[in-house]
Structure 1
Amino acid sequence: MRYAIVIEKAANNYSAYVPDLPGCVATGATIQEVNQQIKEVIAFHLESLREEDLSIPEPTTLCEYVEAS
């Protein structure tokens, strides 16, 4: 499965979250670090759901960019 992530710049670092997996968040000093962290968090989150025999949410979030005028 392929989940959309949102990466935001904070004052001193970056944060990321997964809209389709509530509670799935990570932080890092760089974009590369937060990207790696969120991948690990997603894997851990999905494994936890499987262990608890809970359903895995389907990815439904779409990402688009629009030009502002």
Structure 2
Amino acid sequence: MKNTIAIELGNDDKHAFSMVVPELPGCFSAGDTIDEAIVNAKEAIELWLEIVIDDGGTIPEPKTIITHQANLEYIGWAWATVTIELTKLSDKVG
């Protein structure tokens, strides 16, 4: 499963890069560098998904970067995708 992350670029060396996963409500993280933000995003997504799976919830279908870029809330943000292996997150998948 590929998830899109939106990364708010820090405008100086004193601020971290924050990131959100638009289709996963409340899933966010940060990092001192973009690379660190992406690694932290993957961990946040895995935790979010694992909780939803274990609770029997529904996982939203991932949307494309282009779809998210149309959201005015994310103008000027950087975009990346991370791949998550759902079968490795919970014994309830697969």
Q: Which residue of 1 aligns with 2:65?
A: 63
Indicate whether 1:4 and 2:4 are aligned. Answer: yes
Instruction: Tell me the amino acid that sits aligned with residue 27 of structure 2.
Output: C
Q: Figure out how many residues of one structure are paired with residues of the other and give that number.
A: 64
TM-score of the superposition, structure 1-length normalised?
A: 0.83
Percent of aligned pairs with the same amino acid? 38
Structure 1 stretches of 4+ moved >4 Å: none
Indicate whether 1:24 and 2:27 are aligned. Answer: yes
1:2-37: CA deviation from partner (whole Å, max 9, x where unpaired): 111101123511001111101110011111111100
Gaps of 5+ in 2: 70-94
Gaps of 5+ in 1: none
Q: Quick one: higher RCO (CA 8 Å, sep 6+), 1 or 2?
A: 2
Please provide the CA RMSD for this pair: 1.4
TM-score of the superposition, structure 2-length normalised?
A: 0.63
